[in-house]
Amino acid sequence: MKSSGRNALRIVVVAAGLGFLAWHQWRPQHAPAGAEAPAAASADAGKRVAPEVKPAPPRTWKLGSLTLTACNLGQPNSGLSTAAWCGALAVPENRADPAGRKITLKLAVLRSSAQVANRDMLVYLAGGPGQAATDYAGPIAAMLEPLRAHRDILLLDQRGTGGSNALACKNDDQGDAADDSGYDPAKLRAAAAACLKQVATHADPRYYTTTDAVQDLEDVRRALDVPEFDLVGVSYGTRVAQQYLGRHPDAVRSVVLDSAVPNSAVLGEDFAQNLDDALKAQFARCDADAACRQRFGHPFQTLVQLRDALRANPHPVSFRDPESYQTVQRVLNEDSLVGVVRMFAYTPPTAALLPLSIDAAAHGDVGPLLGQAKLLTVDMADLAGSGMSYSVICSEDADLLTARPQDADTLLGTHMIDAYKAICAAWPRGARPADFHQPLQSAKPVLLLAGQYDPVTPPRYAEEIAGHLPNARVLLFKGQGHSVLATGCGPRLVQRFVEHLDPKALDASCLDRLQPTPFFIDFNGATP
């Protein structure tokens, strides 16, 4: 298969994902109380060790029916690691055939600093679809640190990701999301078929859906002998959280939904409109600011003009790679431009660079746009090769997608729905419960967090979910984008909610201090 097809598939998956973890600050975590991480190499590591000296056996922790072992969880592309307790649980791949193939789920527990932790356990449900929770143990531990005072935190790699029989599609080229040949349906089908050929050696993709993952989580809860979970879902993880609460209400104590997608939503259906709405709202701030307007005019209009020019004339461009500092060439076309802009829109710091970067690209300098995109693509690499994301979307959403001619003039256009249809024509479809897309209804306490400028899960999604929940509240994070829990006082608000279970009485006045990130007027920063 030619690399152009693989690159097209890669950017479709990046665009398809509800979100990625966008923490740009990380701090190493201390070993939790009672834990001992594997010992660091000593200064005498190179000297001969007496034969009778044996390494100490690994520390273990019996939790329910599972034995966990002290471990260090590394964060991709960082060289950093976090002390945890790791374990595994074997489950049937197809629960209708319990005697068939078994798969092993990777799990880890970030142990509480309390001598005796509360029996309810916090569960972090990762986004994507396609992210592995254990890959982000460090940022998760930092974000949820206030809650670790009294609770352990469970990280479970959803089946098909990370250490849980990953449906990873390897590529033999060195392209990235900026190197794209468009949304050609034939190439996308071929790329999906090649991915399927790889994962079929060890998995049946029909059994890697949200519904399967929900049952896995319940199996883990029972194995750990945890009476109730406090669920924290981010982006796609909010779908998992809602489905779990709907199927196992007695196993849930509380729910936090960050950048939530309602059960009723069909993934991909309104991605084009959501992106346009978020960008227009962001750029309206530039229109209203004299210095920004004088420097850039109307950024959204400039972006549309640039998109139209590339639609008529895609062409190779050169820019300096921000990691290798080598000059590289890429084909810049309409689709690669829009994919990069969508990545920028996820977080306030990168969104603040958009008017400047778009203006530079419109004047022939693509370095600021494509160079930053290269760094963002590293963060999203776990989504770009995930067959698990195809299993979720093709089983749960693709057949419900209908043509949306009203999206033809948006930045994303109708490409996303066409791309899903092409990919899912080659990918096996799993079962979807009849009530899967019904709104969640529950009396459990639920806290929803929404970013004002979220380009993929806008605040109206959270309001829709809360409308069916009598004990729920939506908190709006002003000036923010996608995945907001770690922003400002977010961790403390979540701590108070989980401890007191009264979302409507929660004092969230600290959020009033949040402000949008000022737009960069030049590469020295924003106007004072």
Query: How, if at all, do strands 520-522 and 525-526 pair?
Result: antiparallel
What integer pLDDT is reported at residue 321 of this predicted model? Answer: 80
Burial of 426 (0-12, 13-18, 19+ CB in 10 A): middle
Residues of the chain with pLDDT under 50: 1-11, 13-15, 19-47, 173-181, 378-383
Two tokens at 420?
A: 């899903």
pTM, entire model: 0.89
Which residue type does 362 have? Answer: A
Write the pLDDT tens digit of every residue in 394-429: 999 999 999 899 999 999 998 888 889 999 999 999
Distances (CA, A) of 201 to 99, 168, 196, 205: 19, 11, 9, 11
Q: Write down the domain spans for the chain.
A: 1-17+59-267+385-528, 271-382
Q: From 382, 383, 361, select the one nearest 372 (Cα to Cα).
A: 361
| 439 backbone dihedrals φ, ψ, rounded to 5° | -60, 140
**Cβ-contact 87, 224 below 8 angstroms:** no
Two tokens at 177?
A: 């999301």
Rg of the chain on CA atoms, in Å: 23
CATH superfamily, region 1-17+59-267+385-528: Alpha/Beta hydrolase fold, catalytic domain (3.40.50.1820)
Write the pLDDT tens digit of every residue in 439-483: 999 999 999 999 999 999 999 999 999 999 999 999 999 999 999
What integer pLDDT is reported at residue 182 of this predicted model? Answer: 57
What is the greatest pairwise CA distance in the chain? Answer: 76
**Spatial distance between the Cα atoms of 426 and 488, rounded to a whole number of angstroms:** 44
What integer pLDDT is reported at residue 34 of this predicted model? Answer: 38
Q: How many CB atoms lie under 10 A from the CB of residue 289?
A: 17
Q: From 317, 355, 384, 369, select the one nearest 520 (Cα to Cα).
A: 355
What integer pLDDT is reported at residue 322 of this predicted model? Answer: 75
**Spatial distance between the Cα atoms of 450 and 158, rounded to a whole number of angstroms:** 24
Distances (CA, A) of 163 to 88, 105, 346: 9, 7, 27
